[in-house]
Structure 1
């Protein structure tokens, strides 16, 4: 009889931590630097910019810096992750609108949280299962991420703005701040 085979973690985080503690939340976003982690999916940058702009208007957030991942389907690379952590106070990462990119978007948020940076990960509601599976694989099954109504990629600017407005109460709640 054959022995059991070891299942490899396709995320590359075989030695991942199981810390499920959120980074400390800021009392306010006033003057804080907002990181926007783009996963290269269509409309991700526009959604991120709309959210950052709204955080600046509502909460007095400071500069918003855009970072772009190499590939949407894997977690952020170590060097870019370090740069984001060094330069930002909070991060919004988006947009998961397929299975692998949703999982990677959630993994990115968890990585940021574990490094002490509050993060909001946004996937589309059609891929909640992928996001939840990644949170479980990462040892953080209760990680709260947000769902935008699907689709996102095919929307025009006004529709993206509508998605942003729908997400804002939850973005603020996850960041632990009031508008």
Structure 2
């Protein structure tokens, strides 16, 4: 019996991709949490929110849930993130 192991990573680097600029500090900022909707994200985001507020001075946390755990964030979430948030965290609740 034999089997083939496939590497699921993409073979090329996407053109024109760059990371967004990072803020020097999170103090006073609004941070958005994007949940995939699974149960495990609740505890993760609860503890992360406490840490961001206490240790980094984050002023506001906005939590949103995607309409499908297997799809990218919905257009309205992306629009809100660009308009209202200074940083974002995504969570997988598996």
TM-score by length of 2: 0.77
Q: Residues of 2 paired with 1:60 and 1:84: CA distance?
A: 19
1:144 is aligned to none
For the residues of structure 2 that align with 1:19 and 1:52, how far apart are their CA atoms? 32
Q: Within 5 Å, give how 1:6-155 maps onto structure 2.
A: 18-95=15-92, 97=94
Determine which structure has greater relative contact order: mean sequence separation of CA pairs < 8 Å that are 6+ residues apart, divided by chain length.
2
Native 8 Å contact 1:34 1:52 kept in 2: no
Distance 1:88 1:73 in 2: 23
C-alpha contact (below 8 Å) 2:29/2:86 kept by paired residues: yes
TM-score normalized with structure 1 length: 0.42
Q: CA deviation at 1:49?
A: 2.4
- List alignment gaps of at least 5 residues for structure 2: 1-13
In 2, the alpha carbon distance for the partners of 1:73 and 1:31 equals 32
Partners of 2:37 and 2:93 within 8 A in 1? no
Deviations 1:116-158 (A, max 9, x none): xxxxxxxxxxxxxxxxxxxxxxxxxxxxxxxxxxxxxxxxxxx
Q: Which runs of 5+ in 1 are unaligned?
A: 1-16, 98-179
| Inter-partner Cα distance in structure 2 for 1:32 and 1:19 | 28
Indicate the structure (1 or 2) with the bigger Cα radius of gyration: 2
- Secondary structure of the equivalent of 2:63? strand
Q: Take 1:86 and 1:57, find their aligned partners in 2: how far apart are those partners?
A: 25
> Residue 32 of structure 1 contacts residue 89 of structure 1 at CA under 8 Å; is this kept in 2?
yes
